[in-house]
Amino acid sequence: MARDFSSLKNLDIPVKVLFTGYLTTVAVGYLFALIQILFTHGMADGKFGLSIDDIVYSYYGNRSGTMLETKLNGSMKDNASEEERFVIMQWVRDGAEEDEYAESGVEKIIQERCVMCHNKESSLPDFNDFNTLKALTTQDEGATFSSLTRVSHIHLFGISFIFMFVGLIFSFAETSTVKYKSIAIGMPYLFLLVDILSWWLTKLHPMFAILVILAGAGMAMSFVFMWTVSVLEMWLFDKVFLDANGQPRPQWSTVVEARLQQIGCDHALTWGNRLGCMAKSTAKKLWQQWLTHGLPWIKRRWQKRLEKKD
């Protein structure tokens, strides 16, 4: 019996289950990766939530303090009380001398709060070794070049494989044209390269930190788009992509092209120019709405306020 692999909706049920199982597992993994980022990089400035400062502190470093202080005020903040963190930071600012290590009470705090994770059996710095701890009391210069090299090659290999299989599944979609499918499949790899490159650039200068967030957001949007289209086509094709008469709805890519033509942006040769044209058109419409409705409303409100004062 010949099997039809021409589109997602025509796949055999076992193949759909296989693809859906993979997509679901990867989606859950992606979610946990985002949560992990929030609890690591997202706490670099001591506040929950990812910000530009978090990215700068993680890669460029907080040059106004030491690595140990940055961690105690950031991602490690909840692992010790305020009093204990103050004792450690005071010891650091006093020179982090070995003679004062035990007398100041720092050693006891480190043993009780830190070595459960920071030991020779883990991948974290071993705080049982004083010299290792001492090295963290110097100026915080963010991620080291060796750690960036290690994390970069892991991400490049690992995430590339994830998007290869997600893109392979999405390539069977029939609700997008070949051009737009090619763009959607290729974009994650572009964003991945920009993401990794932005780590190294931020290490050199904090002005590149915004690239880390933009590249990460681009990868996430690409993943969500391909994941959603793939799952919907496999299991809800008739309900989502067919109208009440059983006729195919217009392809989203066709709708986009029609919209571009409507606002006069179809002449743009590159997608960068098209996005710029769309942004300009949108800004123009918003400005017209402001002049037509927003500004007159404010004038009326201001006039009423003046009348009440009189």
| Residues 31 and 84 grouped into a single domain | no
Is 21 part of a structural domain of the chain? yes
Domain assignment present for residue 287? The answer is yes
Same-domain pairing of 148 and 232:
yes
- d(CA 205, CA 199) in angstroms, rounded, equals 10
Same domain, 128 and 154: no
How confident is residue 253, by pLDDT bands cut at 50, 70 and 90?
low
Are residue 121 and residue 193 in the same domain, yes or no? no
pLDDT for 2 beyond 60: no
pLDDT in tens, 271-280: 667 677 777 8
What tokens does 255 get? 């709708």
Asked if residue 124 and residue 100 are part of one domain, the reply reads yes
Residue 209 lies in a domain: yes
Tokens 């290869």 sit at which residue? Answer: 164
Cβ atoms of 145 and 201 closer than 8 Å: no
- Per-residue pLDDT, averaged over 189-208, amounts to 95
User: Looking at the structure, do residues 232 and 151 belong to the same domain, yes or no?
Assistant: yes
Range from 6-15, 122-131, 258-267 carrying the lowest mean pLDDT: 258-267
Please state, in angstroms and rounded to a whole number, the distance separating the CA atoms of residues 169 and 8: 8
Radius of gyration (C-alpha) of the chain in whole angstroms: 27
Which of 102, 135, 168 is a domain's end point? Answer: 135
- 80 shares a domain with 201: no
Q: Where are the alpha helices (DSSP H) in the chain?
A: 13-39, 52-55, 67-73, 82-93, 99-103, 106-113, 130-135, 145-170, 178-204, 209-235, 237-241, 252-262, 271-289, 295-309
Is residue 1 domain-resident?
no
The answer on pLDDT for 213 being more than 90 is: yes
User: Is residue 292 located within the same domain as residue 164?
Assistant: no
| Residue 56 token pair | 């700068």
Q: Is 159 helix (H, G, I), strand (E, B) or coil?
A: helix
Residue 18 lies in a domain: yes
Long-range own/partner contacts, residues 50-54 (CB < 8 A, 24 or more apart) = 50/213, 52/209, 52/210, 52/213
254 occurs within a structural domain? no
15 inside domain: yes
Looking at the 3D structure of the chain, how many domains does it have? 3
Q: Shortest CA distance to 226 belongs to which of 22, 13, 10, 11?
A: 22
pLDDT band at 188 (very low <50, low <70, confident <90, very high): very high
Distance in Å from the first CA to the final CA of the chain: 88
Angle between helices 145-170 and 209-235 (to 10 degrees): 20
User: Is residue 2 in some structural domain?
Assistant: no
**Domain carrying residue 115:** 62-135
Answer whether 0.85 is exceeded by the pTM.
Answer: no
